[in-house]
Amino acid sequence: MTSVPVSPNGDLHITRIYGSIAEASSASAAFLYELALVGDRGMLGEVIKVDGETVTLQVYEDTTGLAVGEPVRLTSNTLTAQLGPGLIGSLLDGTGRPLERLASLSGDFLAPGLQAATLDNTKLWDFEPLVKVGDDVTGGSVLGSVEERPGMIHRILVPPAVTGRIARIERGSFTIEEPVGALEDGTPLMLSHRWPVRLSRPIARRLVGDRPFITGQRVFDFLFPVAEGGSAAVPGGFGTGKTVIEQSLAKFAESDVVIFVGCGERGNEMTDLLKEFPSLIDPRTGRSIMDRAVLIVNTSNMPVAAREASIYLGATIAEYYRDMGYRVAMMVDSISRWAEALREISARLQEMPGEEGFPPYLASRFGQFVERAGRARSIGTPERDGAVTIIAAISPPGGDFSEPVTQAAQRVTGALWALDSSLAHQRHFPAVDWTTSYSLYADACGQWFAQNVARDWTEVRRDVLHLLEQERQLRDVAALVGAEALEPRDRLVMQVAAVAREVLLRQNVYHPHDASSSPMKTYSLAHGVRLLYTACLRALDAGTTVDAAAFNEVRRALDVLRESDEGGVKSSLSAVQALTENIAPARTTRADARRKRDAA
- For Mg ion, the binding residues (CB under 5 A) are 242-243
429 binds, among Mg ion, ligand ADP, none (CB under 5 to 8 A by kind): ligand ADP
The type of residue at 276 is E
Judged by CB, which is closer to ligand ADP: 242, or 251? 242
- Phi, psi at residue 504, to the nearest 5°? -100, -50
Only one of the segments 149-157, 239-247, 369-377, 410-418 lies at the binding site for ligand ADP (rule: CB under 6 A); that segment is: 239-247
Nearest-angstrom CA–CA distance, 330 and 319: 10
Residue 96: CB partners within 8 Å, gap ≥ 6? 81, 82, 116, 118, 313
Minimum Å distance from CB 135 to Mg ion? 49
Out of 239, 278, 367, 568, the residue judged to bind ligand ADP by CB under 6 A? 239
489: nearest Cα among 557, 536, 549: 536
One residue of 9, 26, 53, 238 binding ligand ADP per CB under 6 A: 238
Strand order from edge to edge, sheet including 125-129: 152-157, 142-149, 125-129, 172-174
The count of other CB atoms within 10 Å of the CB of residue 549 is: 8
CB of 243 to Mg ion, least distance (A): 3
- Choose among ligand ADP, Mg ion, none what residue 435 binds, the Cβ cut-off being 5 to 8 Å by kind: none
Smallest gap, in angstroms, from Cβ of residue 510 to ligand ADP?
6
**How near is the Cβ of 239 to Mg ion at its closest, in Å?**
8
Question: Out of Mg ion, ligand ADP, none, which partner does residue 580 contact, by CB within 5 to 8 A per kind?
Answer: none
Within 239-363, strands assigned E span: 257-263, 293-298, 327-333
Residues 474-513 close enough to bind ligand ADP by CB under 6 A: 507-510
The site partner of 244 among Mg ion, ligand ADP, none (C-beta below 5 to 8 Å per kind) is ligand ADP
Q: Which residues contact 1 (CB under 8 A, 6 or more apart)?
A: 111, 114, 117, 121
39 scored as a contact of ligand ADP (CB under 6 A): no
For residue 285, how many other CB atoms are within 10 A of its CB? 14
Q: Which is nearer to Mg ion, 78 or 240 (CB)?
A: 240
18 binds ligand ADP (CB under 6 A): no
Sign of CA dihedral 254, 258, 259, 262: positive
Stretch that binds ligand ADP, among 237-245, 302-310, 336-344, 536-544 (CB under 6 A): 237-245
Nearer to Mg ion, 417 or 523 (CB): 417
For ligand ADP, the closer CB: 507 or 524: 507
149 vs 242, beta carbon nearer Mg ion = 242
- Considering only residues 153, 167, 199, 244, which one is a binding residue for ligand ADP as defined by CB under 6 A? 244
Pairing of β 80-83 and β 125-129: unpaired
Contact 406, 399 (CB under 8 A): no
* 111 CA to centre of own chain: 30
Rounded distance, CA 309 to CA 306, Å?
5
124, 136, 157, 175, 191 from 182: Cα distances, Å: 19, 12, 13, 15, 12
The distance of closest approach from Cβ of residue 239 to ligand ADP in the complex, given in angstroms and rounded to an integer, is 5
Report d(CA 305, CA 221) in Å as an integer: 36
∠ CA 542-545-548, nearest 5°, is 135
Q: 241, 264, 386, 414: which one contacts ligand ADP (CB under 6 A)?
A: 241
Taking the complex as a whole, the smallest distance from the CB of residue 244 to ligand ADP amounts, in Å, to 4
Integer Cα distance of 419 and 413 in angstroms: 16
Residue closer to ligand ADP, measured from CB, 145 or 336: 336
Asked if 401 interacts with ligand ADP (CB under 6 A), we say no
CB atoms within 10 A of CB 33: 16
Provide the minimum distance between the beta carbon of 422 and ligand ADP in the complex, in angstroms, as a whole number: 14
Site for ligand ADP in 416-435 (CB under 6 A): 429-430
Phi-psi region of 364 (alpha: psi -120 to 50; beta: other; left: phi over 0): alpha
Binding segment (CB under 6 A) for ligand ADP, from list 10-18, 87-95, 167-175, 241-249: 241-249
Do residues 38 and 22 make contact, with C-beta atoms less than 8 angstroms apart?
yes
Instruction: Return the C-alpha torsion angle 121, 126, 132, 137, nearest 10.
Output: -40
Q: Which is nearer to ligand ADP, 494 or 509 (CB)?
A: 509
508 binds, among ligand ADP, Mg ion, none (CB under 5 to 8 A by kind): ligand ADP
564 binds, among Mg ion, ligand ADP, none (CB under 5 to 8 A by kind): none
Nearer to ligand ADP, 18 or 238 (CB): 238
Binding at 298: pick from Mg ion, ligand ADP, none (beta carbon under 5-8 Å per type): none
Q: How many residues bind ligand ADP (CB under 6 A)?
A: 14
Please, which residues have CB within 8 angstroms of residue 576's CB and are 6 or more apart in sequence?
A: 528, 531, 532, 554, 557, 558, 561
Question: Contact, 229 vs 373, CB < 8 A?
Answer: yes
Site for ligand ADP contains 452 (CB under 6 A): no
In terms of CB distance, is 239 or 568 closer to ligand ADP? 239
Residue 440 near ligand ADP by CB under 6 A? no
The answer to whether residues 47 and 31 touch, using CB atoms and an 8 Å cutoff, is yes
Nearest approach, Cβ of 396 to ligand ADP (angstroms)? 11
| Residue 277 sits in the site that holds ligand ADP (CB under 6 A) | no
264 sits near ligand ADP (criterion: CB under 6 A): no
Q: Quick check: 461 binds ligand ADP (CB under 6 A)? A: no
Q: Strands 438-439 and 415-416: what pairing?
A: antiparallel
What secondary structure, in 3-state letters, does 473-506 show? HHHHHHHHHCHHHCCHHHHHHHHHHHHHHHHHHC
Nearest distance, CB of residue 265 and Mg ion, angstroms: 8
Within 59-210, residue ranges assigned H as helices are 99-103
Nearer CB in complex with ligand ADP: 336/577 = 336
Tell me the C-alpha to C-alpha distance, in Å, between residue 291 and each of 156, 261, 278, 311, 393. Answer: 18, 16, 9, 21, 24
Nearer to ligand ADP (CB atom), residue 202 or residue 239? 239
Q: Is 173 in the site for ligand ADP (CB under 6 A)?
A: no
| Interacting partner of 571 out of Mg ion, ligand ADP, none (Cβ under 5 to 8 A depending on kind) | none
Query: Which partner in Mg ion, ligand ADP, none is near 321 (CB below 5 to 8 A by kind)?
Result: none
Q: Which is nearer to ligand ADP, 430 or 446 (CB)?
A: 430
Contact positions toward ligand ADP, by CB under 6 A? 236, 238-244, 429-430, 507-510
